[in-house]
Structure 1
Amino acid sequence: KGTVRYSSWQNGDVYGQFYKTNGAFEYWTRVDPGSGNLFVNPYILDPNNTNMMYYIGGSKIYRNSNLEAIPSFSQSPATTNWTRLDNSEVDGAVTTLTISTEPANILFYGTSDGKIYKMINSLVGDPDPIDITGSDFPAGNIGSVLVSPSDTSELFVTFTNYEVISIWHSSDGGSSWESISGNLEENSDGTGNGPSVRWISMLKMAGDDPIYFVGTSTGLYTTTTLDGNSTVWAQECASVIGNVVVTMIKTREDGHVSVGTHGNGMYSTNYSSTTINPPVLISAKTVEAETETNKIELTFEKEMVSPAGKQLFFTVDDGGDNPVVKVLYKAGDPTSYVLTMENNITSNKNIIVSYKPGDIKSIDDGILQKFSNQDVSNIVNVEEIETAQNIKIYPNPNNGVFNLEIQKKNPSNFIIAIYNMQGQIVYFSKQNNTSSFIRSIDLQKQAKGIYNLEIVENGKASNHKVIIK
Structure 2
Amino acid sequence: MTINSEGTNNGSFINPGALDSNLDILYTNYSTTANGNLIRRYSGIKTQWTLTKTTLSDASFDNRPTAFTVSPHTTTSSTLFVGTVLGDVFKITNANTTPIWTEIELQNVIVGSISDIEVGASENEIFVTIHNYGVESIWYTNNGGTSWVAKEGNLPDMPVKSILQNPLNSEEVIIGTELGVWYTNNFSSASPRWSSSFNGMRNVKVLDLDVRNDNMVFAATYGRGVFSGMFTAAPLSVNEEDVFANAIKLFPTISSGQFTLISTKTVGSTQVDIYSIAGKNVYETKVDIQQGLRKEFDLNLNPGMYLVKLKGSNFETTKRIIIQ
CA distance in 2, matches of 1:63, 1:88: 18
**1:29-428 counterparts in 2 under 5 A?**
29-32=1-4, 34=6, 36-49=10-23, 51-58=24-31, 59-71=37-49, 80-87=51-58, 90-104=61-75, 105-125=78-98, 127-133=99-105, 135-148=107-120, 150-185=121-156, 194-205=157-168, 208-209=169-170, 211-237=172-198, 240-274=200-234
Matches of 1:97 and 1:33 in 2, distance apart?
A: 22
Q: Deviations over 1:251-290 (max 9, x none)?
A: 1231111101113222112334459xxxxxxxxxxxxxxx
TM-score, scaled relative to structure 2? 0.64
Question: In structure 2, how many angstroms separate the alpha carbons of the residues matched to 1:32 and 1:213?
Answer: 33
| Cα deviation, residue 244, structure 1 | 1.6
CA distance in 2, matches of 1:247, 1:158: 11
Q: TM-score, normalised by structure 1?
A: 0.45
Relative to structure 1, is the Cα distance of residues 270 and 179 closer, same or farther in structure 2, using a 3 angstrom cutoff? same
Superimposed CA distance per residue, residues 272-313 of structure 1 (whole angstroms, 9 cap, x where no aligned partner): 4459xxxxxxxxxxxxxxxxxxxxxxxxxxxxxxxxxxxxxx
Alpha carbons of structure 1 residues 220 and 200: separation in structure 2 relative to 1, 3 Å: same
SS at match of 1:144: strand
Q: 1:115 and 1:98 mapped to 2: Cα distance? A: 14
Q: Please state how far the C-alpha of 1:211 moved relative to its aligned partner.
A: 3.0
RMSD value, Cα = 2.4
Q: For residue 91 of structure 2, what is the amino acid of its counterpart? A: K
Check conservation: 1:92, 1:111, Cα contact below 8 A.
Answer: yes
More strand by percentage: 1
1:183-232 C-alpha deviation (Å, 9 max, x unpaired)? 114xxxxxxxx111111122314xx4463111111110112322354111
Task: Name the amino acid aligned to 1:120.
Answer: T
Q: Secondary structure at 1:183's aligned position in 2?
A: coil
Which runs of 5 or more structure 2 residues have no equivalent in the other structure?
32-36, 238-324
For the 8 Å contact 1:159–1:166, the answer to whether it is kept is yes
Q: Deviations over 1:74-112 (max 9, x none)?
A: xxxxx9411111227733311111111224432110111
What displacement does 1:30 show?
1.3
Identity, % of aligned positions: 28
Q: Which runs of 5+ in 1 are unaligned?
A: 1-28, 72-78, 186-193, 276-357, 359-469
SS at match of 2:145: coil
Structure 1 residue 135: Cα displacement? 1.9
CA 1:174/1:33 → structure 2, altered by over 3 Å: closer, same or farther? farther
Asked whether the 8 Å contact 1:47–1:99 carries over to 2, the reply is no
Q: 1:113 to 1:274 in 2, by over 3 A?
A: closer
Q: Which moved more, 1:82-91 or 1:252-261?
A: 82-91
User: What amino acid is the match of 1:224?
Assistant: N
What is the identity, as a one-letter code, of the residue corresponding to 2:174? F
Counterpart-to-counterpart distance in 2, 1:157 and 1:33: 32
Alignment size in residue pairs: 227
Contact 1:178 1:228 in 2 (8 A): no
Who is 2:256 aligned against?
A: none
Give 1:243 shift: 1.6
Residues 272 and 171 of structure 1, relative CA distance in 2, 3 Å threshold:
closer
